[in-house]
Amino acid sequence: MTCLRAFTQGNLVPNPGFEERISCPAHLSDFTGIVKYWFTPTSGTPNFYHSCASQPEVGVPDNYFGHKTAQEGQAYAGIMTSNAYREYISVQLTTPLAAGKMYKLSFYTSIISKSNCNSQGLDALFTPHRPTAEQANDNLNARASLNLTVQYSGDQWIKTEACYRANGGERYLTLGDLTFPQARHNCADGEISYYFIDDVRLEPTEFREEEVNFSTCRQPFPLQLDGAEISRTALPAEKINWNWDGSFNGRFRTIEKKGIYRLSIELPGCHLEKYIVRVTDEDCDHAVFIPNVFTPDGDGINDFFEIKAKGIDFQKVVVYNRFGQVVFESSDPEFRWEGGHGTKPAENGVYLYLIQYAVRAGGRPGFRSGSITLIR
């Protein structure tokens, strides 16, 4: 079977990593008119950090708040929130959002290393018109489109992802703390929560229904199918909604007879994966077992991409990256791909594979293709 992910069609956020600039920053209050395409919707003073800064307080990697390398490139933004005062950053999307269509929002945030309180994440706001405060020096008075809770550990960059179903016509994205009357932190009055922001992406998504063949191999009915074994999502099972044939909810489904069953895997408000599961009761003269995900992090658990098989003569495996480049190839039946590409580690992500073999019973050729997810 193959993994179903959101197939993206291009980022709708211009200058997602804040690399494009009108000029280099010189002060902590520099943002609007300095960063290309981005602005602040209020009288607040977000910060723009770049390696070209003329003053060390807004440099990269060293600045007023300490040492912070960019998640990507040479720049990032920064905003503060307090119980009374909030800063926001906004951008006009390259195209308006289409009504009813699902979009995937992702961005990285990091917090300052020395803080007296706990930050809990930011909110996202999608609007058809340019956002603005009702009065000078006011915070934005708007209900968040997405509340994005983050559990920070140290001052590392953490990726936040969420799905948004558009009402139609939204042209602006705003990031900040839109939770009232309390802010999204436990700071006392007079304390601030500070967020660095980088690599903001909003991508329209498409989902395809993938087919999975499941042979009982002389296993008697009834049998139980485990949605977690069919799915390739890396999300914890308890966070997922499992739906079988539109009526059976839950991770497990009891199967009484052969047939076609459909599994839909969702997050609240966000469709992740859909599968057609074909269950047969035919005897198996051969089988090839291929993992969904592997984690080459050296912990001794699931560190390799390898297969288990019976009744076949293995011939070849080829692994491709998303650009169609061959990253691994072997004719060894005991092959193990350790997640490398040449002399370097391969990037996290989804890779396609093609496996060739011959079935010993009859000598007919066999092929398997699909995807394997690499997570370090």
Per residue in 221-276, pLDDT (tens digit) is 788 888 888 876 666 667 778 889 988 888 999 988 888 999 988 766 565 678 88
Q: Is the pLDDT of residue 4 over 50?
A: no
13 confidence band (pLDDT: 50, 70, 90): very high
Q: Is the pLDDT of residue 109 over 90?
A: yes
pLDDT on residue 122: 95
The CA distances from residue 60 to 5, 16, 24, 50, 350, in Å, are 34, 17, 12, 5, 31
Q: Please state which architecture CATH assigns to domain 7-206.
A: Sandwich (2.60)
pLDDT on residue 206: 64
Q: Is the pLDDT of residue 8 over 50?
A: no
pLDDT on residue 273: 78
The residues that bridge with 369 in the sheet, in sequence order, are 354
Q: Do domains 207-284 and 285-376 have the same CATH topology?
A: yes
328 confidence band (pLDDT: 50, 70, 90): very high
50 confidence band (pLDDT: 50, 70, 90): very high
Q: How far apart are CA 203 and CA 201, in angstroms?
A: 6
Cβ contacts of 52 within 8 Å, gap of 6 or more:
21, 24, 74
CATH of domain 285-376: 2.60.40.1220
CB-CB neighbours of 333 under 10 Å: 15
Q: What is the mean pLDDT of residues 303-313?
A: 88
pLDDT on residue 9: 53
The CA-CA-CA angle for residues 76, 81, 85, to 5°, reads 130
pTM over cut 0.75: no
Q: How far apart are CA 314 and CA 290, in angstroms?
A: 13
322 confidence band (pLDDT: 50, 70, 90): confident
164-197: per-residue pLDDT in tens? 989 999 999 999 999 888 888 989 888 899 999 9
208 confidence band (pLDDT: 50, 70, 90): low
Q: Is the pLDDT of residue 6 over 50?
A: no
pLDDT on residue 363: 74
pLDDT on residue 96: 97
pLDDT on residue 217: 61
Mean pLDDT of the chain: 87
| Domains of the chain by residue range | 7-206, 207-284, 285-376
**Percentage of the chain exceeding pLDDT 90:** 52
Domain 207-284 matching CATH 2.60.40: the answer reads: yes
Q: Is the pLDDT of residue 292 over 60?
A: yes
Residues in the chain, overall count: 376
Q: Are 49 and 194 in contact (CB under 8 A)?
A: no
Q: How far apart are CA 165 and CA 202, in angstroms?
A: 12
Q: How far is CA 277 from the centre of its chain?
A: 25
